[in-house]
Structure 1
Amino acid sequence: MKDEIYTKQNFLIAIILGLLVNSIFLILKKNILLSIAAFFSIVFLFFAYIKIKKSFKETGRIRKIESVFPDFLQLMSSNLRAGMTIDRALMLSSRPEFSPLDEEILKTAKDIATSKNIEASFLDLSKRIGSEKIKKTILLIIAGIKAGGDIAILLQETSTRLRERELIEKKAYTNVIMYVVFIFLIVSIFAPSLFSLSNILVEMLTKLLSGIPKVETSVTMPFTLSKINVSLEFIKYFSIFFIVVIDLLSSFVLGLITKGSEKEGLKYFPAIFILSIITFFGSRILLKRFLEGLI
């Protein structure tokens, strides 16, 4: 019910924003096609923003659960060694500091208390959490239980291995930090500077070639210098478009390197994009003044 209300609210906000932008374009540009395109663009961008925001929220929840999962396993192992039943051990392992995992633990404990199979209850737990790492961990625990292993020892060993894996991942991140810095500098500083240089060179060549008088000759030359027919505005917007594309793809690469997921890199995109645009226009102004002073 809440999801339906939330969806309807978002749809209403998207329509209002779309109509507002549509009206602005219609008043300023007096172009119906452009205003319609602006309306659908705003609606699409709004829902894309909502989708990305929801995805980030879910990813944050999963990462928080993954960080406290080893502590939960260790606590449950201690409770089992103290002679508690599995459902009781789960109940007492549900602590506020494990939030949002504590709610899922209580659901699992209630399932087991109502005579539900332990393996099935743990599988349901992994499905509700939605983490591939936790799913693999629970499958290993279930395999150990089926093989006749002691649950308390299995949980303790699994918790230790998860902590060791976490340390290895942190060490791996420190090893790739130089690659992250290198990619960041390339896409936010060097690439925009090269695009601005190409813009200035084309602009200067256009001015130089437009001043060359036409000379009629009967001799066929291997090449001729003529006026450049490409618009300077087109070249500028073409460069900005490619900067945006490069920044977006680079942010995906950074997310994959740092967090192991491409969508995690979207949070780097605004910073990279803003720095790239500032670099592009800033270096464009500086290079234009410098090169014009030489000619």
Structure 2
Amino acid sequence: MTMKDKETETGTETETETETDRLLEALKKKRQEKAVVHFFKDPFGFVRGNPVRLAYISAVIGACLILIIYLYGRAHEGWSGFVAPFDAYILAGIATFTPTALYLYIEDKRVRKANDEFPGLLRDLAQAKRAGLTLIDSVLLTSEGNYGILTEGLRTIAYQLTWGVPFEDALRMFAKRYPTNMIKRSVEIIIEGYRVGGDVGEILKIAAEDVNELRSLERKRASDMSPYVAICYITFGVFLLILLVLYKTLIPMMTEAAKQITGAGMGRATIVNVDAERMKMILFHCGIIQGICSGLVAGKLGEGKVIAGLKHALLLASGSFALFAILKLMPNFLQLHI
């Protein structure tokens, strides 16, 4: 091979590498654009694909709010406006965790809908298989029905089976698409029975009965625990009412008594040192803390998970924040009723 041929070959390889890099860069850019479009079209689907993204979004929201609060505090010395610095940071914290709570709430509703529709899907699939149809025909026939949120996933299984995808792989992809404990448990039962060569129709029937029993137990548990969740809300409301009475009666009475003692020259009594604003702030923080704790307890009692109480915690803490914000902006609020 001559020197000229080597140079030509080297130049060709360089051009090929450059073209490959250009294509990879274009593909990467296209994926980024697709991710942005997906986020605006279906934000919850975008987060569901990788829940870590939600942590990034919440962190950005929190950082922006804290920065705004800090800059506002620097520009307005004394915070004579709506809230004090610490109160503003509490508001920023509530706003930061709101996307997470909203996502968990929507995802929980999605899981419940999937679990509600799953027993009927298994029952119809078992009936079709026991009627003498092949497995593929049974799935194709059943996929024509309406099973709510599971309909699209069932039709995907039907397409996959017609394309030659193994039944086990199609079921695993279905369970990955709807990752509820009930569906994953049933899919494993069906796969194990299918592997050992059992009657698929009978296996599906057993799985449907198992799911029905589990759903019945879950409904009974939810029904039994719902009064305790209501108690958490009621006790928090009573606690807020007590704080309101203290805010509107006890603190003004102590402040007025301190003024009278000071004016009468009765010495340095302890009550003279009453700081009304500090006491109001303590009551406000008590309301926030009680709201967060009551919400987390409500989630644990109602759904068996502390993280499920995040939505309750944010709701109750927001209610407490709103009450004290109204009391600060409108000092005469409920004055005639206390």
Distance in 2 (alpha carbons) for counterparts of 1:197 and 1:134: 50
Structure 1 partner of 2:16: none
Distance in 1 (alpha carbons) for counterparts of 2:89 and 2:233: 33
Task: Give 3-state SS (helix, strand or coil) of 2:270's partner.
Answer: coil
Residues 115/180 of structure 1: CA separation in 2 closer, same or farther (3 Å cut) = same
Distance in 1 (alpha carbons) for counterparts of 2:88 and 2:316: 27
Distance in 1 (alpha carbons) for counterparts of 2:300 and 2:234: 17
Structure 1 partner of 2:163: 114
Distance in 1 (alpha carbons) for counterparts of 2:226 and 2:91: 36
TM-score by length of 2: 0.64
Deviations 1:17-54 (A, max 9, x none): x79x959x85x9943998xx999999986664444433
Structure 1 partner of 2:37: 5
Distance in 2 (alpha carbons) for counterparts of 1:170 and 1:75: 22
Distance in 2 (alpha carbons) for counterparts of 1:147 and 1:126: 20
Q: 5+ residue gaps in structure 2? A: 1-32, 44-56, 80-84
1:65 matched to 2:110? The reply is: no
Deviations 1:159-185 (A, max 9, x none): 122122222222223322332232221
Alpha-carbon offset, residue 227 of structure 1? 4.1
Contact 1:22 1:39 in 2 (8 A): no
Distance in 2 (alpha carbons) for counterparts of 1:62 and 1:198: 43
2:290 to 242, 246, 249: 246
1:176 matched to 2:208? The reply is: no
Distance in 2 (alpha carbons) for counterparts of 1:104 and 1:169: 24
1:132 matched to 2:181? The reply is: yes
Contact 1:188 1:247 in 2 (8 A): no
Contact 1:80 1:86 in 2 (8 A): yes
Residues 165/203 of structure 1: CA separation in 2 closer, same or farther (3 Å cut) = same
Distance in 2 (alpha carbons) for counterparts of 1:143 and 1:285: 66
Residues 47/178 of structure 1: CA separation in 2 closer, same or farther (3 Å cut) = closer
Distance in 2 (alpha carbons) for counterparts of 1:253 and 1:152: 43
Deviations 1:164-216 (A, max 9, x none): 22222222233223322322211112x1233234444344334324415355x
2:113 corresponds to which letter in structure 1?
Answer: K
Alpha-carbon offset, residue 255 of structure 1? 2.8
Correspondence list, 1:50-89, <5 A: 50-89=99-138
Residue identity (%): 19
Structure 2 partner of 1:192: 240
Q: 5+ residue gaps in structure 1? A: 216-223, 291-295
1:235 to 271, 276, 279: 279
Q: Which moved more, 1:42-51 or 1:118-127?
A: 42-51
Residues 52/183 of structure 1: CA separation in 2 closer, same or farther (3 Å cut) = closer
Contact 1:71 1:159 in 2 (8 A): yes
Contact 1:188 1:273 in 2 (8 A): no
Task: Give 3-state SS (helix, strand or coil) of 1:125's partner.
Answer: helix
Contact 1:108 1:121 in 2 (8 A): yes
Alpha-carbon offset, residue 77 of structure 1? 0.7
Distance in 2 (alpha carbons) for counterparts of 1:93 and 1:57: 27
2:149 to 100, 104, 109: 100
Distance in 2 (alpha carbons) for counterparts of 1:229 and 1:253: 37
Distance in 1 (alpha carbons) for counterparts of 2:186 and 2:88: 47
Distance in 1 (alpha carbons) for counterparts of 2:103 and 2:336: 44
Distance in 2 (alpha carbons) for counterparts of 1:7 and 1:162: 34
Distance in 2 (alpha carbons) for counterparts of 1:144 and 1:115: 20
Structure 2 partner of 1:218: none
Residues 103/116 of structure 1: CA separation in 2 closer, same or farther (3 Å cut) = same
Task: Give 3-state SS (helix, strand or coil) of 1:83's partner.
Answer: coil
Distance in 2 (alpha carbons) for counterparts of 1:117 and 1:255: 40
TM-score by length of 1: 0.71
Residues 43/115 of structure 1: CA separation in 2 closer, same or farther (3 Å cut) = farther
Contact 1:197 1:287 in 2 (8 A): no
Structure 2 partner of 1:146: 195
